[in-house]
Amino acid sequence: MLDCYREQSLSQGYGFDPDLRVHLGQYLSPRRTVTVPTLLMAVEDEPLTAPPEEMPAALTSRGLRLPHPDEWEHACGAGAATLFRWGNWCPLDRIPYGDKAGPQHQPNAFGLRIADSVYSAEVTSDPDAIYGGDGGEAVCGGYGTLLAWLPLATANHNPSVAEFVHGPDGEDMYEDFSTRPVIDLR
């Protein structure tokens, strides 16, 4: 069924690779087993107060740090091995932006408000891994229903958003991005 929506996106001139598995491989972290240290993560993200490269020092001064990508994914999915934090489905009859009743607006199983807006993009400790949204690229670009939901997938990290945030084009736009501070408990 997902291939049907992918085909719809491709027929409209959107999408990046005709093979859905190749496309998902570029935007989703591979399945793996990781051990996440004991930590507390903020229930809601907070806007960056400095450029991404300065955020580690800014957070350290408050006794906090940026989350590691594995920590962010684990927190988002609440340990579940599903595509989205709410399961392996999404309402393919609509896009997530403007969908006030969609599953993305419910807190996850850990009580976090996370990956709830395609316009949100959260910085992690890895400059290549930004999660929680794509800055609206898929929705504004009209990539089709399936690809509009993909930025909210637990393991979605869009390389072009990371390149933008950490590149010269995004250097004066850091306040449009956020992070989810972490406190180590070990």
Pick the closest to residue 174 from 164, 182, 184 (CA basis): 164
pTM to 2 decimals? 0.87
Residue 32 half-sphere exposure toward CB, CA atoms < 13 A: 12
pLDDT at 1: 46
pLDDT digits (tens, 9 = 90+) for 12-46: 555 555 677 787 788 888 888 889 999 999 999 99
- Asked if residues 112 and 154 have their Cβ atoms less than 8 Å apart, the reply is no
- Per-residue pLDDT averaged across 161-184, rounded? 89
Identify the DSSP state of 153: S
Q: Give the mean pLDDT of the chain.
A: 86
